[in-house]
Amino acid sequence: MYLNGEEVEKDVALAVEYLEMAAALGHPEAQTCLGKLYTFGSEDVVQDVELGVEWLEEAEEQGNADAQATLGRHYHETEEYEKSISYWEKAAEQGHPGAQFGLGVCYSNGFGVEQNVETSLDFLLEAAEGGDEQVCKALGALCQHAISKVKEDETSTADKPEMAEFFRVMHKLADLDYRDAEFTLGQMCAMALAWMSTYTAGRDGSTKRSSTSTRARLPS
């Protein structure tokens, strides 16, 4: 209330005082809030990473998913990826979208884990289902990436295993009413159909590849 000025005049110092009292009594949400304030600092709170991490660890020990996700973010920023992944995995198991997004980034780039596009996309989808705004922006970029991958070689779209993953992801995002995914899926399908048309009929009327075998290769 005092921290954000909701229904009262904003007073961060007073808010921190109340938070510290609650945190000292073992309240995990208060500990997490203090942990965030001190770990990352703000215009009104002097950054104290060591103190912030201590409060976050107190909350994490009580199973607070937000604290676990915040610790994951902290260690990701300090490039201590194994610690980051450990905390994000705990939070992701509780359905925390931010942690799921973080794991998606790690698997996409190979931060602390073996790079795995499929696992990355699975985590991003879970985060999207949780309504994380940051994920929606990332998935917008993913949509454009999918299109660029198709355009690299339209004649072999259906033969690329990674494109099956993009089709799968776009279908799921479209089911979530994500408009960019619907548009991207339409573009990808149009390209695939064009490819099918080109390769099912030769210029001289001969058949280069049957429509049945072509469709079998397209992701469902």
Please spell the DSSP secondary structure of 129-188, one letter per residue: HTT-HHHHHHHHHHHHHHHHHHHH-GGGGGG-HHHHHHHHHHHHHHHTT-HHHHHHHHHH
Residue 168 neighbours by CB distance under 10 Å? 16
Is the residue at 51 inside a domain? no
Task: Check residue 28 and give its pLDDT.
Answer: 96
What is the domain count for the chain? 1
Q: Are the C-beta atoms of residues 30 and 46 closer than 8 Å to each other? A: no
Amino acid 2: pLDDT = 45
Q: Are 219 and 160 in contact (CB under 8 A)?
A: no
In a domain, 206, yes or no: yes
Lowest mean pLDDT among 30-44, 86-100, 142-156: 142-156
Q: Which two tokens stand for residue 199?
A: 């390769």
Q: pLDDT per residue over 171-210, tens digit each?
A: 777 776 766 667 777 766 676 666 556 656 554 454 444 4
pLDDT of residue 148: 66
What are the tens digits of pLDDT across the range 136-150?
666 666 666 666 665
Question: Does 212 fall in a domain?
Answer: yes
Domain that holds residue 200: 132-220
Q: What is the pLDDT of residue 91?
A: 97
- Any domain includes 219: yes
Q: Let me know if residue 200 belongs to a domain.
A: yes
Tokens of 208: 């280069």
Domain membership flag for residue 184: yes
Q: Residue 155 pLDDT > 70, yes or no?
A: no
Residue 195 lies in a domain: yes
Q: Which residue has the higher pLDDT, 75 or 120?
A: 75
For residue 154, pLDDT beyond 60: no
Asked whether residue 28 is assigned to any structural domain, the reply reads no
